Amino acid sequence: MFTGIITDIGTIRGLTQKGDLTARIGTSYAPGGIDMGASIACDGVCLTVVAKGSDDQGNWFDVDISAETVSKTNIGGWALGHRINLERALRLGDELGGHIVSGHVDGVAEVVSVADEGDSTRFRFRAPQALAKFIAPKGSVALNGTSLTVNEVEGCEFGVNIIPHTKQETTWGAARIGDRINLEIDTLARYVARLADWQAA
């Protein structure tokens, strides 16, 4: 489990296709503090560490990514040098600063507009139609692993405000119109909608 509070920005250092896709991710996390088999959210996707180390380019870890995961996320667009949001798995006693995030991406949203509003930036996204019903004003979503609060919803489109601190500490400062964004809906919203469907049946 994760909280959607980003703790590092990683860089894609290698991509190797051998059955599954293996990605090498540069990080500021110390290799000694990463357990083999540990879960790390990479742009919101929960991935398992299969190797780790340090070299003249810095610290790194490797993850294996299945074809199913590539098809459901924006990982197909990763390239060498691409920067991604990273979060270590939640530990017992850690502060829950965002909301409960599973790291299981539900689909891919698209950035449809970006506009400065004071010091913050208003992003507007288009969600897949099947996921739109789970997104509510003042509810939570995880976008590229970042816990964010929904401002408004109009059909399949919704908006969030991103403050300067978040832009500085994540990859959101470089986000542009047309970017494909990993979307995880709020777990509570998923089960409330499922209950409503069951009661209506």
Residues 114 and 72 in one domain: no
Q: What is the pLDDT of residue 199?
A: 66
CATH of the domain at 120: 2.40.30.20
pLDDT in tens, 31-90: 999 999 999 999 999 999 999 999 999 999 999 999 999 999 999 999 999 999 999 997
**Smallest Cα–Cα separation from 143: which of 126, 120, 164?**
126
Q: How many domains does the chain have?
A: 2
Question: Can you give the residue range of the structural domain that contains 126?
Answer: 107-200
Residue pointed to by tokens 């049946």: 201
pLDDT at 94: 62
- pLDDT of 96 strictly over 90: no
pLDDT of residue 100: 80
Q: Strand order of the sheet with strand 140-143?
A: 146-149, 140-143, 180-185, 107-117, 120-126, 157-162, 152-154
- Same domain membership, residue 120 and residue 45: no
Domain shared by 111 and 63, yes or no? no
pTM: 0.91
For β-strands 20-27 and 39-42, DSSP reports them as: unpaired
Residue 98, pLDDT above cutoff 90: no
Are residues 58 and 23 part of one domain? Answer: yes
Q: What is the mean pLDDT of residues 148-161?
A: 97
